[in-house]
């Protein structure tokens, strides 16, 4: 059910997993292999899908002309009578497609014209021109959910939680995330002006303006550092195509170093390819273990499971999350939490729990359709709810300014106290998945 090359391409969209402003998407869903903004399903996770006759449908069915009679009446009236006409036919066509998708009232079902689609593909490969942020729709507002370390956005002072009001003077209210992402991106060494709303210490919103110089960015998906030589801290910024391979290489180095525990840092990770998320979680779980449950509109469910035993089944593990952890990041954290494989530390996650499938169209454009919801292995709903950590530990703006990281400190304390040692597992378990309940673990 995971098409990778061809008409059907699945994305979990973070973006969680939403769209990425200067980056990538929140999550991908190459069914079974998910593409994330920078992590995607590796070659071993790709699956050639059974041909779907809907994907080959390039000609309208018999009788459709009558059903679309009103549409063609309006089309012809615009071409004949509109004061600024005749209009470009491609522009009218794309507008009609966008209108259909907007009628779904789903911010993750979107259309990309050929130019925007090309930008999205570049960002999914991990290299793009922009400022280094990821955006998603939160409470009806386009919100920055990730600011990447070392990016122009980070240098300018943008923060997770900033609400985007305008780009170069153009208000973004009413625009799709794809349209906003296109406005923010641009050639390296050019500038973009962002107006944002940010709550202050009095919980009052203040309006700020930033002029940021775009840069050619390549985001490394996985990085590793060590704390006093006995703990490894592995940071995953996005779940891109290259993430599984990079993550396995990081785990090899960790094993060679003989560390006593791992902090898996998924904070401000907007998601990415589904397959990449499953591949990362699989490294800590036994074979045939449920990683997530995909629930289609008709109620049918598909269990996504690990294929083999992971490399580190017994290594003590703490996972860090925050409100910028979305989509693919929530898949990993939810799976490890439900299987009692890791302790979650930090803040409640973003709450992106839907799956998108992307279809490449014949003219180079693409359409992304929400086709399923996903649940944690224990059947917990994520969409709009998120994951609540085992221990809520926040990192305030002042902490960041002073380079303090209370969640990281607490994670290392737990690992050194052996509190994060997992219960030994023999064979993998498939949790009960009867009726999902809209609560967190």
Residue in 113, 136, 265, 338 annotated catalytic: 338
Q: Which two tokens stand for residue 136?
A: 């998603």
3-state SS string over 190-222?
A: CEEEEEEEEECCCCCEEEEEEEEECEEEECCCE
Reply yes or no on whether 327 is catalytic: yes
Cβ-based neighbours of 337, under 8 Å, separated by 6 or more: 319, 344, 376, 387, 390, 441
**Torsions phi, psi of 293, nearest 5?**
-115, 125
For residue 142, which of 39, 242, 19, 30 has the smallest C-alpha distance? 19
Annotated catalytic residue, options 276, 352, 360, 365 = 352
Exposed/middle/buried for 16, CB within 10 Å: 0-12, 13-18, 19+?
buried
DSSP letters for 347-404: S------EEEEEEE-TTS-EEEEEEEEEE-TT-BB-TTT----SEE----HHHHHTT-
Phi, psi angle pair for 248, to nearest 5°: -60, -40
Of the candidates 24, 33, 277, 327, the residue annotated as catalytic is 327
- Three state DSSP letters for 67-123: HCHHHHHHHHHHHHHCCCCCCCHHHHHHHHHHHHHHCCCCCCCEEECHHHHHHHHHH
Positive or negative: CA dihedral 164, 166, 171, 175? negative
**338 has catalytic annotation:** yes
Query: Do residues 192 and 156 touch, judged by C-beta distance below 8 A?
Result: no
Q: How far apart are CA 280 and CA 250, in angstroms?
A: 11
Which residues are part of the catalytic machinery?
327, 338, 352
């Amino acid at each position: 059910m995971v098409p990778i090359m061809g008409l059907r391409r699945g994305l979990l969209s973070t973006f969680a997993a939403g769209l990425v402003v200067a980056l990538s998407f929140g999550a991908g869903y190459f069914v079974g292999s998910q593409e994330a903004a920078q992590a995607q399903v590796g070659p071993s996770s790709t699956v050639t899908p059974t041909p779907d006759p809907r994907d080959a449908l390039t000609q309208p069915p018999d009788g459709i002309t009558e059903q679309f009679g009103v549409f063609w009446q309006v089309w012809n009236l615009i071409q004949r009578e509109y004061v600024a006409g005749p209009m470009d036919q491609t522009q009218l066509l794309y507008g009609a497609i966008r209108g259909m998708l907007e009628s779904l009232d789903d911010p993750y079902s979107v259309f990309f014209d050929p130019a925007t689609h090309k930008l999205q593909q570049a960002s999914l490969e991990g290299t793009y021109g922009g400022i280094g942020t990821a955006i998603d729709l939160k409470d009806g507002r386009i919100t920055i959910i990730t600011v990447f370390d070392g990016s122009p956005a980070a240098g300018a002072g943008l923060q997770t939680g900033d609400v985007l009001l305008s780009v170069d003077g153009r208000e973004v209210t009413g625009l799709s995330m794809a349209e906003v992402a296109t406005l923010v991106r641009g050639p390296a060494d050019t500038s973009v002006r962002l107006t944002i709303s940010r709550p202050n210490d009095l919980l009052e919103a203040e309006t700020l303006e930033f002029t940021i110089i775009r840069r050619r960015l390549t985001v490394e998906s996985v990085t590793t550092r060590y704390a006093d030589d006995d703990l490894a801290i592995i940071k995953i910024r996005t779940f891109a195509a290259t993430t599984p391979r990079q993550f396995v290489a990081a785990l090899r180095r960790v094993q060679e170093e003989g560390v006593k525990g791992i902090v898996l840092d998924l904070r401000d990770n907007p998601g990415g390819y589904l397959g990449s998320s499953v591949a990362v979680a699989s490294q800590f779980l036994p074979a045939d273990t449920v990683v997530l449950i995909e629930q289609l509109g008709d109620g049918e469910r598909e269990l996504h499971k690990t294929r083999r035993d992971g490399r580190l089944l017994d290594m003590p593990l703490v996972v860090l999350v925050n409100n910028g952890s979305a989509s693919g990041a929530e898949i990993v954290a939810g799976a490890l939490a439900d299987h009692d494989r890791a302790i979650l530390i930090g803040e409640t996650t973003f709450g992106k729990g839907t799956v998108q499938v992307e279809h490449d169209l014949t003219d180079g454009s693409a359409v992304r359709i929400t086709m399923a919801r996903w649940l944690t292995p224990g059947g917990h709903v994520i969409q709009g709810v998120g994951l609540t950590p085992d221990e809520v530990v926040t990192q305030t703006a002042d902490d960041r300014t002073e380079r303090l990281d209370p969640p990281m400190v607490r994670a290392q304390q737990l690992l050194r106290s052996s509190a994060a040692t997992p219960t030994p597992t023999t064979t993998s378990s498939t949790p009960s998945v009867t009726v999902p309940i809209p609560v967190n673990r």
